[in-house]
Amino acid sequence: MGSRRRLLSLTIVTLGAAATLAGDADAGPSKGRARFHPDWEKHASTRYGAMDAAACSSELTRRGVAFTPVAEARGVRIPVRLPKDVGGVLYRTEAPKHVRDAGPYDVFDCRLVLALSDFSRVLAAHDIDEVRMFSAWRPPGTAWDPDREGTRHAGGLAMDAGRFGKKLAPGETERVWLDVEKDYHGRLGAPSCGASAAPPVPATAEARELRSIACEAADQHFFTSILTPNYDRAHRNHFHLEVTPDVRWYLVL
């Protein structure tokens, strides 16, 4: 697989192939482009993807990110849980705490957590301090080779973020949420970022802010892939945020 990725990374790849490499396994028909980037080795996502367990854990510790190693998570190279916020932002599923503490969907690969640590700076600028996700890790089937490292959700290297919660102001008791499914207002196949981006319709304040969050992260290359509702119907209700090791392309749609 490594040599195949390197070969594909030297060209612009249609998303029909890139969905298998970079998107969800069930991403479906694709309409955008995955692109080779000449400065790929300088990207944060590239550095994180190349880290081993010792280097990644050491960097999380240096940043003051609390994490709990997970003894075993099939397919995940460096599995961890996040008992607290990451850089001031709490990343969690909707499940109650006792379920999150034991269930699979709140397990992350350490390398994805480094990208989320960077992403927290973007979110803080938008007064976001909580992200509700559908999952990070999705355990592969029982037939999975225990020595095989997964990618995307099977490797704990991708997170599907559905809602972004604003900080409570003094006196407020009810959190304001930016909901990707309700508020993104995108268009299938249209670029979300860059000069050719299609603006949200209607261009509500929530839609503009969600677009800004995605594109600010894209500009800084914390993630190899950022898939929005513009990618396909399977992504209508979340941002897919992924670190992909050993590739030279990036994908934003």
Average pLDDT over residues 218-247: 96
Write out pLDDT tens, residues 70-125: 999 999 999 999 999 999 999 999 999 999 999 999 999 999 999 999 999 999 99
Burial of 55 (0-12, 13-18, 19+ CB in 10 A): middle
Contact between 1 and 154 under an 8 Å Cβ cutoff? The reply is no
pLDDT of residue 122: 98
User: By the 8 A CB rule, do 136 and 108 touch?
Assistant: yes
Residue 33 pLDDT class (50, 70, 90 cuts) = low
pLDDT value of position 249: 87
112 to each of 45, 117, 156, 176, 185, how far by Cα in Å? 9, 9, 8, 26, 27
Show the domain range for 169: 2-252
Q: What 3-state class would DSSP assign to 172?
A: coil
Nearest-angstrom CA–CA distance, 151 and 45: 14
Work out the average pLDDT over 159-185: 95
Q: pLDDT higher for 173 or 2?
A: 173
Q: Say what the pLDDT of residue 228 is.
A: 97
Tokens 């914390």 belong to: 222
Percent share of the chain, pLDDT over 90? 75
pLDDT in tens, 136-152: 999 998 888 878 899 99
Q: pTM above the 0.95 mark? A: no
237, 198 in Cβ contact below 8 A?
no
Question: What's the structural domain count of the chain?
Answer: 1
- Confidence band of 7 (pLDDT split at 50, 70, 90): very low
